[in-house]
């Protein structure tokens, strides 16, 4: 997808401490062919997505290409389990042990491995851009003071932290009927959105009164304002991607419990075994360093990153240094607009790059 648009592309492999082999792509220069004169930027996609998130539109509307053309050294991450990152030193994706992870492991292993790799390759501190789940894992890491020594600034698009006011009826229905837990008990360790087991469960949800699945994307994300049909076709050609069923259980726990904590084994002894305490440890957002430059952009129509939940996050950042926190609100944006809207360059990416240049 990168080379087809006339950009150079490098393939990199990164091995995490727990043995997963992740593929990363680097766009080392823009179309002008000049070497980048700005720092590296790591782009981290959200749930059920991969690095193609950042290239779904034509180059003049897609963040990966816009950054490259503006002199940044662009790195695309692909989370474990997506089609570009299914390698492992010893496990095959056909084995349930391969899928024994939630976003805790993305915080502890994937994110730190990709940060370290980009930092080692470039010898520089990096900017970070996350969308959706890509914001949650970053916030969780920063709250433990991890990775901040390698970071210049972070841009969080459609930030996910607190989830219990999420207004997506479809996502809520999935949580309410314990969809992920049921799949887990059925032995479905890989949540493959294109697979039979998931299709069957989705059908059950869509038959529930009050749930309208005619446009699945809108039912999940909210009414996106600014997508065009051709980029939706590109999206469907490449996405959605697999994740671990356990990861979805973890996210459902956040919706139900209204907190940001590590995975709950729902068993005091198992929690003791993993954490040395009967309940999972919380990630405390108030512990994010106050001088860490953050750019947050959220939307009024977003049914996953709900404005009320974002407000809870902002409240926990109330002591953040005033000049280090830029908050942008787009009344008309829903969840996918931040990566696919035809006007996102003017609306979000230009302010984001201006923010990066100040750091």
Is it the case that residue 142 has pLDDT exceeding 80?
Answer: yes
Nearest to 64 by CA among 357, 352, 358, 355: 352
Helices 111-122 & 133-143 angle (0-180, nearest 10):
80
Average pLDDT over residues 283-305: 94
Q: What angle do CA 109, 114, 115 make, to 5 degrees?
A: 100
State the pLDDT at residue 264: 94
pLDDT digits (tens, 9 = 90+) for 155-194: 999 999 988 888 877 777 777 777 777 777 778 788 887 8
**Quick check: is 250 catalytic?**
no
Q: Which of 119, 132, 242, 305 is catalytic?
A: 132
Q: What's the DSSP call for residue 348? A: I
Average pLDDT over residues 199-210: 75
Q: Which of 50, 69, 110, 302 is catalytic?
A: 302
Lowest mean pLDDT among 193-197, 300-304, 328-332: 193-197
Query: Tokens 């994706």 identify what position?
Result: 93
State the pLDDT at residue 213: 66
Residue 260, CA distances (Å) to 10, 74, 141, 239, 249 in order: 36, 30, 12, 27, 13
Phi-psi region of 263 (alpha: psi -120 to 50; beta: other; left: phi over 0): beta
**Quick check: is 320 catalytic?**
no
Mean pLDDT, all residues of the chain: 90
Nearest to 158 by CA among 75, 44, 35, 241: 44
- H and E: helices and strands count for the chain: 15, 11
Query: At 359, is the secondary structure helix, strand, or coil?
Result: coil
Nearest to 135 by CA among 110, 114, 116, 160: 160
Report which of residues 210 and 135 the model is more confident about.
135
State the pLDDT at residue 163: 85
**Quick check: is 335 catalytic?**
yes
State the pLDDT at residue 294: 97
Query: At 35, is the secondary structure helix, strand, or coil?
Result: coil
Average pLDDT over residues 136-152: 96
Phi-psi region of 303 (alpha: psi -120 to 50; beta: other; left: phi over 0): alpha
Q: Which of 45, 127, 320, 335 is catalytic?
A: 335
d(CA 19, CA 101): 12
Is it the case that residue 219 has pLDDT exceeding 80?
Answer: no
């Amino acid at each position: 997808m990168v080379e087809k648009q006339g950009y150079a592309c490098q393939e990199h492999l990164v091995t995490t401490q727990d043995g997963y082999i992740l593929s990363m792509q680097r766009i080392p220069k823009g179309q002008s062919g000049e070497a980048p004169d700005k720092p590296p930027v790591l782009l981290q996609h959200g749930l059920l997505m991969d690095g193609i998130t950042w290239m779904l539109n034509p180059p003049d509307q897609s963040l990966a290409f816009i950054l490259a053309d503006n002199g940044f050294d662009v790195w695309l991450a692909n989370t474990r389990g997506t089609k570009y990152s299914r390698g492992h030193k010893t496990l095959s994706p056909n084995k349930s042990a391969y899928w024994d992870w939630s976003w805790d492991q993305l915080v502890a292993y994937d994110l730190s491995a990709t940060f370290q790799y980009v930092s080692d390759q470039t010898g520089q501190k990096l900017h970070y851009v996350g969308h959706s789940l890509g914001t949650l894992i970053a916030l969780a890491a920063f709250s433990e003071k991890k990775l901040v020594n390698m970071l210049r600034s972070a841009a969080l698009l459609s930030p996910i932290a607190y989830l219990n006011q999420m207004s997506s009826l479809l996502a809520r229905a999935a949580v309410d009927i314990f969809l992920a837990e049921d799949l887990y008990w059925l032995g479905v360790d890989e949540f493959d959105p294109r697979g039979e087991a998931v299709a069957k469960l989705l059908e059950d949800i869509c038959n529930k009164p009050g749930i309208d699945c005619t446009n699945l994307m809108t039912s999940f994300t909210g009414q996106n304002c600014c997508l065009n049909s051709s980029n939706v076709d590109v999206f469907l050609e490449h996405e959605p991607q697999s994740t671990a069923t356990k990861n979805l259980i973890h996210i459902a726990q956040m919706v139900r419990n209204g907190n940001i904590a590590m995975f709950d084994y729902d068993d005091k002894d198992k929690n003791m075994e993993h954490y040395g305490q009967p309940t999972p440890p919380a990630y405390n957002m108030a512990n994010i360093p106050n001088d860490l430059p953050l750019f947050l952009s959220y939307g009024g129509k977003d049914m996953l990153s709900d404005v009320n939940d974002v407000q809870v996050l902002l409240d926990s950042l109330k002591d953040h240094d005033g000049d280090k926190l830029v908050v942008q609100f787009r009344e008309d944006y829903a969840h996918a607009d931040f990566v696919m809207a035809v006007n996102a360059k003017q609306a979000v990416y230009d302010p984001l790059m201006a923010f990066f240049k100040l750091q």
